[in-house]
Chains A and B, each alone.
Chain A
Amino acid sequence: GAGVSQSPSNKVTEKGKDVELRCDPISGHTALYWYRQSLGQGLEFLIYFQGNSAPDKSGLPSDRFSAERTGGSVSTLTIQRTQQEDSAVYLCASSLAGSGDTQYFGPGTRLTVL
């Protein structure tokens, strides 16, 4: 079946602009995660959704970052007033949500802030 998809695959933006990154999880997966992969920080957790709720936002680096999930499916990560340090690969993962369930990762969105 279809895996996790993300769009766009690449995004180049200017400092100060807002960007939206999209994630389509595997159908039926109630848990959705956003991670960030950068050279300096490795792989970092950003936010976790269970259904449309986000019980864990502890990894969001600043209030410029926000995310939402609608219909228990698609999620959007929004970065306002982008900074150069936001440049990274943003990864989305989904799982069935049970304890120990495997997280399936999307291909990522590479964000470059000029």
Chain B
Amino acid sequence: AQSVTQLDSQVPVFEEAPVELRCNYSSSVSVYLFWYVQYPNQGLQLLLKYLSGSTLVESINGFEAEFNKSQTSFHLRKPSVHISDTAEYFCAVSDRSGTYKYIFGTGTRLKVLA
């Protein structure tokens, strides 16, 4: 069985400051890793994903995440946040065979302050 832990339920940060949202997972098999974002009153959107290859993956809006196999982590970072990044962020894993269903973390609410 797989599980995902997002230890920070809420993260307040000032605009233009850096931010890191933590994600740790547990799995007995190899997994794919995802970050989804949910803006207020909107649906879930893929931010970035790790399938294989380079352990550092980037999104088009400046976020990046690094897969660390030894620490079973997939933390999300951004060097300088904007007000518009205020949203809830979900980390998810899926197995590499079978159903590919997602197991989600409980989410981290990022609030960017002016």
A-B CB contact pairs (8 Å), 8 listed: A35-B102, A43-B107, A48-B101, A50-B99, A56-B98, A100-B51, A100-B94, A107-B42
Identify which of B32, B49, B97, B99 contacts A56 (C-beta below 8 A). B99
For A103, the closest partner residue in chain B by CB is B102
Query: Given contacts A42-B106, A42-B107, A43-B104, is CB(A106)–CB(B43) below 8 Å?
Result: yes
A109 to B103 Cα, complex, angstroms = 20
Query: Given contacts A42-B107, A45-B103, A56-B101, is CB(A105)–CB(B44) below 8 Å?
Result: yes
Q: Does A99 contact B (CB under 8 A)?
A: yes
Please give, as numbers and ranges, the residues of chain A lying within 8 Å of B83 by CB-CB distance. none
For A89, the closest partner residue in chain B by CB is B43
Describe A's contact surface by its main secondary structure.
Answer: strand
Q: Which of B36, B90, B94, B99 has the most CB of A within 10 A?
A: B99
Please give, as numbers and ranges, the residues of chain A lying within 8 Å of B32 by CB-CB distance. 99-100
A48 to B106 Cα, complex, angstroms = 21
- Interface digits, A64-80 against B, CB 8 Å rule (1 contact, 0 not)? 00000000000000000
B43 touches A99 (CB 8 A): no
Identify which of B34, B42, B44 contacts A91 (C-beta below 8 A). B44
Query: Given contacts A42-B106, A43-B90, is CB(A101)–CB(B46) below 8 Å?
Result: no
Please give, as numbers and ranges, the residues of chain A lying within 8 Å of B42 by CB-CB distance. 107
For B90, the closest partner residue in chain A by CB is A43
A33 to B32 Cα, complex, angstroms = 17
B104 touches A42 (CB 8 A): yes
Q: Does A25 contact B (CB under 8 A)?
A: no
Chain A residues 32-46 with CB under 8 Å of chain B are 33, 35, 42-45
A48 to B100 Cα, complex, angstroms = 9
A55 touches B43 (CB 8 A): no
